[in-house]
Structure 1
Amino acid sequence: MLDCRAQSKVDLKKDVYVVLLGGQSNMVGFGNYDQLDDRTKARIEAISNRVALSHYKGDKASPLSYTKIKLHEKYNLTKRFGPELFLGLTLAENNPNQEFLLIKTAQGGTALYGAWNPNWSAKQAKEIERGEQKQNMKLYENHINQIKAQLARLKAEGKSYKIIGMAWMQGENDAKFEASASNYGKNLGVLLSSYRKEFNIPNMPFVAGQTNSHYGMKGGSDMVRQGFLDFEKSEDNVVVIKTVRDSPYTDFPKHPDNVHYNTEGQKNLGTAFGNALIQLNSK
């Protein structure tokens, strides 16, 4: 069971546990809900009445489930999910009397060096982000505003809350350039510090999935992977979900393009995130 007694003296049965989620395309997710077996779908439906998800595209929160999209021809799916689905399921089944709210912002093909930078600058965004739209995205700021709106909604509903941690899946695009790749661990530390300071949670748990793409400059992806490990060593209350370097990706399986996690990969990733947050909150 999660144990936040050291963080709060409020009635935990009334508390809503809040989890923040951020990243790029593997946080968006290309798991195919239709490929899940009936028993797994039933488990998800059984907890959906007490696990809500807020997407970055709106300020509403809805019961945890898949996202309906137009047919994605490359992956042949119309019901997409990311790591939030099995993260929420893992947390809820571990805490059968608890309400949860997951607050997620994710955008494919963006970098921590650029769009996700808490100290956003047009110069750095133009250096690394592709296209005018992404060059003008301020994803950290957007996420903060989304979180504050959701917390204000809970307060207006008379509900207390506790932010119990954050899950992060991002890093592929930072392998493009030496400046972003070699400083990834440092930049991730700045990101974590910014969230902790913004919400006054000095020891907020943080779980990050280590990327394993081969995208970017020569050696860039290895720099980013090492950055995750350096970050984990330098920060308290942090877990990095380690991944295998090369295909076949047996730990977190991918679609045939070897870029995005498939249904099983997203299931494994979300479960790993959930278990890591349980571990960090039980300390």
Structure 2
Amino acid sequence: MNICKFLICFFIGSFSLVFSQHKEIDVYLIGGQSNATGQGYMVNIPSDFSINTEVLLLHSHLMKGEKPYTWTPLHQASESPDRFGVELSMGTKLQEFFPDSKIALIKHAYSGSNLFEDWNPGKNKQDTIAYGIQFKHFVRTVDKGLEDLRAQGYSPKIKAMVWQQGEGDAREDSGIENSKNYGKNLRHFIKRVRKQFGAKKMQFVYGYVIPVNQKVYAGRDEVRSGQRYVDQDSGKSLSLKNAFVVPTDDLPLRADEPNSPYPNDKIHFNTFGVLELGNRFAEKIKEHR
């Protein structure tokens, strides 16, 4: 082989190696509290629903008995193996919508957590002393997931984050001021997540909380108003580009679950509600892609 042919083969081979080591992968983040961890029951999933295991999933320490911070094919990731969250339907639907893309989900959620303290993202990336405990776990989870994807030869791009949270800020014992500040805190949280991970155009999709008014959630209306105002199309001063709220008041609750162990639970979405919420998140992402 002469020197010219050798150099051509060398450069082509080097280019192919670099290209193969930097495959693009679309990353979607999942966060929030108990309706984000997921209260759907695996046993009640309809028989015609099939999980797309081509989608990758990495979660934090939220599921007992399973090793955290490990990439696996898509499966349930709630507080126990018998339950699931929006990851199943959302990941499957996103792969259906974007068949030519490699999809990866990174999830951290924690039941009962609030935004004003537990998910406090600090003033900026350097303000780590102000980070809430769940925001610390979230950052650790996302950083580990992205690091491992790069080590596997991927070039990860954070496309969107979905968020189901707000009950903790609406509770009577959280204080009405925290309920009133929910919109402001949510707007700041979104901006901080984008800056934290260098994802300026990241979509942020979230669902309304507490469909049924209950005494213990005295700040319900204030939290839901904040959610509405942050939406990019609200016309309010809190509105933020690429932030979208989805309706949830029509989703079935655990009180409606067949053979429900929680027949009075009108806070958490049941199996069918969780599946539909995941679909709605994926549909909203596709709508504004």
Normalising by structure 1, report the TM-score.
0.78
Secondary structure class of the residue paired with 1:22? strand
The 8 Å contact of residues 57 and 72 in structure 2, kept in 1 or not, is answered as: yes
| Residue among 117, 134, 139 paired with 1:139 | 134
Shift of 1:193: 0.6
Provide the residue aligned with 1:106 in structure 2: 109
**Distance in 1 between the 2:72 and 2:178 partners?**
35
The 8 Å contact of residues 173 and 216 in structure 1, kept in 2 or not, is answered as: no
Provide the residue aligned with 2:82 in structure 1: 79
Shift of 1:219: 4.2
**Distance in 2 between the 1:218 and 1:20 partners?**
27
Verify: 1:56 aligned to 2:60, yes or no: yes
Secondary structure class of the residue paired with 2:224? helix
Verify: 1:202 aligned to 2:200, yes or no: yes
Provide the residue aligned with 1:3 in structure 2: none
| Residue among 228, 253, 273 paired with 2:281 | 273
Specify the code of the residue in structure 2 equivalent to 1:51.
Answer: V
**Distance in 2 between the 1:180 and 1:214 partners?**
18
**Distance in 1 between the 2:254 and 2:145 partners?**
33
Provide the residue aligned with 2:178 in structure 1: 180
Secondary structure class of the residue paired with 1:146? helix
Aligned residues: 238
Structure 2 unmatched ranges of 5 or more: 1-18, 62-67, 124-130, 256-264
Secondary structure class of the residue paired with 2:141? helix
**Distance in 2 between the 1:56 and 1:180 partners?**
27
Give per-residue Cα distances to partners, 1:211-240, cap 9 Å, x unaligned: 025456674101000000111131001110
**Distance in 2 between the 1:191 and 1:97 partners?**
31
4+ residue runs of structure 1 moved beyond 3 angstroms? Answer: 67-70, 213-219
Secondary structure class of the residue paired with 2:163? strand
Decide whether aligned partners of structure 1 residues 100 and 216 sit closer, same or farther in structure 2, where only a CA change above 3 A counts.
farther
Decide whether aligned partners of structure 1 residues 68 and 25 sit closer, same or farther in structure 2, where only a CA change above 3 A counts.
closer
**Distance in 2 between the 1:160 and 1:109 partners?**
34
Give per-residue Cα distances to partners, 1:10-42, cap 9 Å, x unaligned: 99x9311100110000001111122122221xx
Shift of 1:184: 0.3
The 8 Å contact of residues 68 and 80 in structure 1, kept in 2 or not, is answered as: yes
Shift of 1:192: 0.3
Shift of 1:160: 1.1
Structure 1 unmatched ranges of 5 or more: 1-9, 71-77, 121-135, 245-250
Provide the residue aligned with 1:237 in structure 2: 242
Decide whether aligned partners of structure 1 residues 263 and 59 sit closer, same or farther in structure 2, where only a CA change above 3 A counts.
same
**Distance in 1 between the 2:57 and 2:40 partners?**
16
The 8 Å contact of residues 175 and 215 in structure 1, kept in 2 or not, is answered as: no
**Distance in 2 between the 1:15 and 1:178 partners?**
45
Provide the residue aligned with 1:228 in structure 2: 227
Secondary structure class of the residue paired with 2:281? helix
Structure number with greater Rg is: 2
Identical-pair percentage: 34
Normalising by structure 2, report the TM-score.
0.77
Provide the residue aligned with 2:191 in structure 1: 193
